[in-house]
Structure 1
Amino acid sequence: MNRGFTLLELLITLVVLALLLSWAAPSYQSVTESSKMKRLAAELHGIVLLGKSQAVLRRERLWAHVIMPGVSSADGQWKIELTDNETPGSGDVLQIIDGVGFRELVVEVGYASNQISFDDVHGRPSSGNIKFHPIARADQKLKLISHTQSARVRVCSDSDNNEIFYGFALCNE
């Protein structure tokens, strides 16, 4: 007696597997996208907090230089360097965020001269923002905001229709 699978049984199995994969693939993409957004938010927030604390600890002015080819990037060809020199690419580098791990996310910089400066007395960052969102979901923006006067730094959902994205509060609250 021959044991094995018939061609019909194999085809049915393949159809069922294809249906399961087509159902699971968008869910997997959404999870990885959400993970990238949360990780970038945490890293941006972390480098600004590090800049504030290191400026006070060292008692010297520090800069976080956003280095990218234009005002925005979606291909991961950007980086942020926290340094002790006003000129990008010079001085001692204290911390780096590399955009390679954040491909498929659009990053837009809203700081003068694409840099965040931290004063040497209170560590206050310059005012500005960095917006970021998945390429396919321009309506789901997160924004890192810093204010010089209050020295406040936060990440929030930048939504026109008051939606909360990735667990971050609205920027206008």
Structure 2
Amino acid sequence: SILAQYTSLQSALNSIYPEFEWNEILQQSRAPNNHWKDIKNQRQFFDEFASKHDIEQPSDWSKVSYSKVAASGGKTILKQYNSLYSALQAIYPEFEWKESYVRIRTRKNWKDLAVQRQFFDSFASKHDITCPSDWYNVTIKQIIDSGGHPILKLYPSVL
């Protein structure tokens, strides 16, 4: 039997299908009830996620999307918070978090000009945009990668 050649199902899967991240897939199996309500378990998940994705300081979270955390097994944790930003604030209260550290995905009303202004002010600060002509160097991809796609969808001529 194949399993007789390996010490565990996971080691068999790792050897036979090396192209898959079996640790992440197997972790997505159902956790005990209320497991993810415990902040210690949430922190352990985020610590492991950070380690796997080379996140060493709070600003490194800007490289990570809500969807990536959810797809890696953090969906149940994220459902408890309004956004990835809110989750990180709760799980790592010892850090001073800035919205620019995290891709914004909240239940904001993107049609509100004040919300749009807040996004672009943060974007400008993060990308060292100090005068109107600096905006000519900004690509649509940069705006999307920073979480601004919901705003761009409001202005179809931009896309």
Give the alignment's TM-score, normalised by structure 2: 0.25
Larger radius of gyration: 1
Give the alignment's TM-score, normalised by structure 1: 0.23
